[in-house]
Chains A and B, each alone.
Chain A
């Protein structure tokens, strides 16, 4: 569990640093541009952030932190839900600014009083007077102390107001605020930042021209969320430093949720965290999922039970079966030997990952530039394909090879160069040879260029020859020959070379991109329970309800409930029977009929002891059970009482018309 938390932290840090980095460009721009503030108009930045609303929080936090560090201590973050009216907006604004002030000046007493006073009369003028006070204070009282902390701050730092979700503000409030503040722009250097989820057009739709002309808007486009995602995948999954890996299905689930549901990087991270938690919780051998440095220590501390666990892993069993018999026995009986072997295997796995990543990147270099992207445009698609099964057995790979054999030279050379760079930068030692080989290819290509010039000469000369011959018969003959030679033409040197290159890439792929589940002990680091993940993240409560009501056998493993198809046994729980009956009804359901139908079904189920003597009592109980079932359905939202007719309920769901 300790490890888990560490990993989680690492993950979050990663995310935050990444987000901040991705937005540093904005900040730089903002700094530049706040310098040349105009006086008539309010400088405004519009950040187009995209639809992944949930991530905006982090972004804004990053932006405001960065601003605080670099430009100004006075920042207010406003959200639409806090500001239903201009008054609330001003209050909120004042409050936040004052708090900033408190942080900077640490003059708590005075300011607290101020805050409480300002509660009642928040106006622009009070804001201005406060601002003057504050700036004066910082200038006069504590210049020496401030120098270190805010040396980068301007002499009169601007007040930055960030509107987090511009679209959901009421237009009136925004307009008023802008008009008011534009009147005071001389005294109060105000900067607005709008967060926009849809498109920059929204500003003009929300604000009339008279208002928007008061703004001096500059547009910033944030990176699309897909790019965020690929960065994260790059950083987390395609590195060998991070010991935990995702299985193919899990990754697919996460990516699907991202692409089809929310576009939220945060949710992706959440899913990833959940994977980690699940993995460490459910897989007893996940202790071994750590950095290579610690592996040895941990393996030595393994107990006998844990060793047994290792022996039980299917991948390990497969591995054992391949060994010679003495070794098999040793592996299955001797704990120490097992430990050594495990360590070796884990190291292998690590090396495999290193190689895998670099080769994957190489392959991606090739595939990403091919027409129609047979193996996917993004590296994550390629990654999935490689994890799923042997990539070289797929049709897409075939078409990739064919396309690669048709590449032109310049592309091929640049790709090869990229590959060489990638392989050089990777830490794997096995790549020396391949790097050499690729380099050789490169030099050959250069040689080819020289040769090609010569070849051209030759062809030109042949052309000349052709022109010389004026004789019709000869002409025909030579033309035929030419044709013939073209058809059966031997491959040029370039083509030969190209084939060689492709073949070498192919062999690389075959060697290194073996799917992970073929490796021994892959269970230790790979998390594969995609269904669990999906159940927790992307649950389908309606389906669960539906199943429980339609097919109670699924949950209650009782033989009496077992029945096929859409039918339902009459011994099913009351609510199931009632539900089933109600499905047959139209928009309105007559309770009496319903009750009768229910009681007949139940009576049929209980028929052995349905005597005439106790029938009255039984009736009451059935009645009561019916009432309970109906009110449960009401609670579940399937029906509601209806006033259209006496003793009727209305159906609310699923074709209730």
Chain B
């Protein structure tokens, strides 16, 4: 983002001068959050401020890129060939804008992308209709770069009276884009056809809803954090650091309110997910195989280096499990080895040590602490020099093993000359686990083994948000529990569920207060006394069917901790049963 570009776009902005200037001003204040001198109402003056702003921003950006470069340099990126890729990527480039060359493809993609923001946009809310004048011209300017396309689309949609939240900077880009595009009309037409999936009442929702897709989809815009941060700010901060804290101190983050529930798609459970992925072909299998073969050629070297007292750590994108397995099967068949699946959620150092003492050393005794056990192991290995052990650890950086104490123990273990450790790490911050002392104990040799193979095993234990852990399960268990209850109890529960569903749209719904609930239950002849209801509720609570919260006024509120969809399904099922 050099200055020339800024001025160029400034010049461009001169072409847009028939836009009423107060509206331009309004936009600037709205979007970039940069202070604009209000007194400058004259057209030419406003254009001048425009240019000024641009320069300011470009300056800021340049500085930012510079700082990121420094950061990456500080990371110790080396300027050598195998890692040359790394050095080429200065931090700045990670965020900076680059026009993709395969313009047609990307434009196509962008057109696909562009359809999404329209879906949740509500045409009723109008705030800045002034864009109308600008859009045709700007749309005539851009085609080659995808985001330009997209933004012109945004502008089109604005012409359909949208709340404009396009960051000011993006508009600048739009203006700066190459003037190739002939027309944008067909896109807008296609867009307008499908803009009714959901209607959202609140302006803010539209605002944010429109904003996030923009952020997500424009694959080459600068980091939106600036625009975001600026939005919350009154004055422009100079240093990135302050910006950072600014952004993190304000808890308000603008994202759309859409949830997965509203997406009319069933959640997948672990099994179906697995099946589906089995069906999906693995992309670039041949290349991945090549990569793996490349790594496999290093096996004998690894063996040699392990024997010379080094330990080996593998890093890089992709699961290294298969690679290690192959190493194991091809070279370690005849020797004593121990495989540790670090990604397993209940693995502990103790279990590792136990398996060494019990299975490798044939020792059947217990130890008071892992340290004692470690000492014992060290002693045994020192006494018996013929004893050799290969330890393979998948995911040395997993949740359970990344603690300081476990790493210390593992490091001490690996420093034994007759224990050969070969491990893999995946987490980006994994190297932070080790301080100087541990590093020297580990005596690592780093090997980059990027495999690109999916982390099948490793992620299967993660509690992903998207994988339905409990959805169908919850429903069936709900039914199951309720079937074993009395009719009255089921009635009570249904009452609560209905009430909760009625109130599902109010976000501040605290739950049904006990007193109200009691009243309702009495009216439905479900309970006859306060106590019976309480007893019933206790039973529910024991089965985790309900949760009680105490409100600010000390009143007890009852909530069913199940999402609305499941609850609806449940009620439907209940209706059928009845």
Contacts and interface: CB of A to CB of B under 8 A. Distances in A.
Interface in A580-605: 580-581, 583-597, 600-601, 603-605
A604 B280 contact: no
A597 B216 contact: yes
A557 B288 CA distance: 9
A634 B448 CA distance: 20
B304 to A, nearest CB: 7
B427 A581 contact: no
Nearest to A55: B440
A453 interface: no
A620 B268 contact: yes
Contacts of A544: 83, 86, 315-317, 448, 450
B563 to A, nearest CB: 9
A234 B158 CA distance: 73
A337 interface: no
B475 interface: no
Nearest to B101: A564
B113 interface: yes
Interface residues of B, number: 115
Q: Could you say which of B212, B301, B437 has the most chain A C-beta atoms within 10 Å of its C-beta?
A: B212
B85 A547 contact: yes
Given A540-B86, A635-B458, A262 B301 contact: no
- Per DSSP, chain A at the interface is helix
Interface stretch (B88-96, B348-356, B479-487): B88-96
A478 B80 CA distance: 68
B464 A631 contact: yes
A8 interface: yes
A656 to B, nearest CB: 8
Interface in A529-574: 530-532, 534-552, 554-558, 561, 563-571, 573-574
A530 B83 CA distance: 12
Contact of A548 (B97, B102, B108, B317): B317
B426 interface: yes
Interface in B410-459: 425-431, 436-437, 439-440, 443, 445-448, 450, 452, 454-455, 458-459
B256 A592 contact: yes
B452 A555 contact: yes
A93 to B, nearest CB: 16
B554 interface: no
B75 A569 contact: no
Nearest to B563: A646
A630 B464 contact: yes
A635 B301 CA distance: 29
A584 B219 contact: yes
Contact of A641 (B106, B108, B428, B465): B465
A36 B440 CA distance: 38
B519 interface: no
Given A264-B436, A544-B315, A624-B273, A647 B450 contact: no
B287 A534 contact: no
Interface stretch (B30-38, B184-192, B247-255, B538-546): B247-255
A549 B276 CA distance: 24
Contact of A592 (B259, B304, B305): B259
B428 A600 contact: no
Nearest to A276: B308
A541 B221 CA distance: 26
B72 to A, nearest CB: 8
A113 interface: no
B437 A543 contact: no
Interface string B251-280: 101111111111101001000110011011
Contacts of B129: none
Interface stretch (B135-143, B173-181, B224-232): B224-232
Contact of A593 (B258, B265, B291): B258
Interface stretch (A130-138, A266-274, A463-471): A266-274
A363 B116 CA distance: 72
Contacts of B466: 591, 595, 626-627, 630-631
B367 interface: no
Contacts of B448: 535, 539, 541, 544
A567 B220 contact: yes
B95 to A, nearest CB: 7
A623 interface: yes
A251 to B, nearest CB: 15
B316 A541 contact: yes
A277 interface: yes
Contacts of A266: 440
Given A597-B216, A636-B426, A277 B408 contact: no
Contact of A545 (B317, B437, B445): B317
A549 B428 contact: no
Nearest to B213: A593
A400 interface: no
B467 interface: yes
19 contacts: A4-B308, A532-B82, A535-B83, A541-B446, A550-B89, A552-B452, A554-B85, A555-B450, A557-B290, A565-B101, A573-B284, A593-B216, A596-B116, A601-B112, A604-B108, A624-B272, A628-B273, A632-B455, A637-B429
Question: Which 5 residue pairs are nearest across A and B when measured between Cβ atoms?
Answer: A539-B446, A543-B86, A567-B100, A565-B98, A548-B317
Given A545-B317, A573-B283, 17 more contacts: A541-B446, A543-B75, A554-B85, A557-B287, A564-B100, A566-B94, A567-B100, A571-B283, A585-B212, A586-B228, A588-B253, A592-B263, A597-B113, A597-B216, A600-B116, A635-B427, A646-B259
Interface of A: 1, 4-5, 8, 53-54, 81-82, 261-262, 264, 266-267, 270, 273-274, 277, 281, 530-532, 534-552, 554-558, 561, 563-571, 573-575, 580-581, 583-597, 600-601, 603-605, 619-621, 623-628, 630-632, 634-638, 641, 644-649, 653-657
